[in-house]
Amino acid sequence: SQTIHQWPATLVQPVGSPLSLECTVEGTSNPNLYWYRQAAGRGLQLLFYSVGIGQISSEVPQNLSASRPQDRQFILSSKKLLLSDSGFYLCAWTRGRQETQYFGPGTRLLVL
């Protein structure tokens, strides 16, 4: 069966510090991968998606970047965190385009 992992589960970082959140998927190959953010009081927002290694599409201009160094690994990064980067970050995968999304457990990020 397929599983999706995210770490860390919770992170508290100072403003201006770097960020690296990792997402890995097991039990499938060539998944489509997604990063979402859920800010307090707001709906989920798609940040990045990837249909293959090294292929990243950005949905919104922001302080964050994403990379996919391996087939089942998706990384969300920032060089300098802002207060507004605080939120709940979710990784998700699908088998193909426009199919059911399976979400990871999420990472709560608090930038102080």
Kindly list the residues in this chain that would bind other proteins in the complex (CB under 8 A).
32, 34, 41-46, 49, 51, 57, 59, 88, 90, 92, 97-103, 105-106, 108
- Between 1 and 100, name the residue whose CB sits nearer to other proteins: 100
- Between 66 and 90, name the residue whose CB sits nearer to other proteins: 90
Helix, strand, or coil (residue 16) = coil
Q: What phi-psi label fits residue 73: left (phi over 0), alpha (psi between -120 and 50 degrees) or beta?
A: beta
> How far is the C-alpha of 9 from the C-alpha of 32, rounded, in Å?
22
Q: Which residue has the tokens 């953010």?
A: 37
- Between 6 and 78, name the residue whose CB sits nearer to other proteins: 6
- Is residue 110 within 8 A of residue 40, CB to CB? The reply is no
Closest contact distance (angstroms) between CB of 16 and other proteins is 26
Closest contact distance (angstroms) between CB of 13 and other proteins is 18
